[in-house]
Structure formats: C-alpha cells, structure tokens
A = this chain, B = another copy of it.
Amino acid sequence: MTPEKGKFKHVTEVSVRNYEIDWQGIVHNANYLLYFEIGRVGYLEQLGAKLDVNTVRHESKVVVARNEIDYLSPAQFGETLTVYTRISVIRNTSFFFEGYIEEESGHRPISSNVSIHVWLDHRTGKPMSVPAHFRKLVGEYEGENALIEKPGLMT
C-alpha cells in the first residue's frame, strides 16, 4: 500500500494544526483528505495547469470521482508532515493522483491516497478525453513515472 517514494517529484510541507486533532493530539481521519488536497493544489500550480481538481461539481471541467485513503499511523499534534504528490496515470477521460504523507523528521509513514479525477465536457456533462495540453504538461513533468495512455481509448 505504501507507494514508492522515489517516483514522487512534488513535495509539500504541512504543519498539523491544533484544531485538526482529536483527543490526545491525534489528527482526525477526515483531515488527511485535506492534506492530500493541499498537495494536489500545489502540484497543479507548479505544473502551471489552470484547473481545480478538488471539487465534486459536475458543472466544472474536472471532478473527483473516487478517493482511497490508507491510514498507516496517526499524525500527532505539533508534527510537520511531508506530502508527496504525483499524477501516476492518465487514461482516456480520467487521471489518477497518488499521494503519500510521512512525518518529516523521522520519516514515519502516515497515510497514502489515490484519487481519480474525470474530465467532463462543460456543456453536455459527459466525460471527454483529457486534453492534449494537460497530457503534455504532465508527461514533461513526470517523465517515465506516469503512464499516459493514448486518448480515444475507452474509459
């Protein structure tokens, strides 16, 4: 379940905030989803891609269709976390983000995430092929680490 760290080029630092913790200084499980989102937003900014992948809106171009989170060990109050983010796969109409969080100083694994994002035609609301410019941006950034399928194949 733990992804290969060597494949990640994008790294963000997140400090655990006091109101994110539960009793005894442990982060509530829903907050990891927010940490992974911070990673995705930073990743897309670095790529220069103008899109918002964190919404479930069917009006906008890209919607999040699925999230998988594995909890490896709980983050504690006062810890700084390293969030690794990459796009691992682009299929015809969708792409996959992978995320991995570890505690910064001791490299303790905290959580891993896969999220699936679907590109929608704004007018019809139907899935459409992930545009060429986005495939190109990701391909140049990720190199061999990303599997970028040819557009037009099913799904």
Contacts and interface: CB of A to CB of B under 8 A. Distances in A.
Interface in A59-117: 59, 63-71, 73-74
A56 interface: yes
Number of copies: 4
Given A71-B63, A71-B64, A71-B66, A26 B41 contact: no
A26 B60 CA distance: 11
Closest 9 CB pairs of A and B: A23-B23, A56-B74, A30-B33, A67-B69, A18-B41, A56-B71, A29-B56, A68-B68, A66-B70
Interface of A: 17-19, 22-24, 26-30, 33-34, 37-38, 41, 54-59, 63-71, 73-74
